[in-house]
């Protein structure tokens, strides 16, 4: 049976949890401003195109 320093184990677990959260946040919020603008314009263009193709009965 080996001796485990609980303080080191706690710190290692905390670091691993923080690293996982940082990776998740980087994936969620890690887009550049140019990429966000490009996505927003493509969404708005697609919505405008869809609105143009809709049939409206009067």
Residue 31 makes CB contacts below 8 A (sequence gap 6+) with 39
User: What pLDDT was estimated at residue 30?
Assistant: 86
Query: Nearest 5°: phi and psi at 28?
Result: -80, -45
User: The pTM is what?
Assistant: 0.48
Is pLDDT of 58 > 70? no
CA dihedral 25, 26, 27, 28 (to 10 degrees): 50
What would the pLDDT profile of 6-47 be if each residue is shown by its tens digit? 999 999 999 999 999 999 998 888 888 898 899 999 999 999
- Average pLDDT over the chain reads 91
Rounded-to-integer distance, Cα 51 and Cα 58, Å:
16
């Amino acid at each position: 049976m080996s001796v485990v320093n609980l303080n080191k184990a706690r710190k290692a677990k905390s670091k691993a949890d923080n690293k996982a959260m940082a990776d998740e946040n980087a994936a969620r919020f890690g887009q550049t401003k140019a990429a966000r603008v490009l996505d927003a314009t493509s969404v708005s263009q697609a919505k405008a195109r869809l609105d143009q193709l809709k049939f409206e009965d009067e």
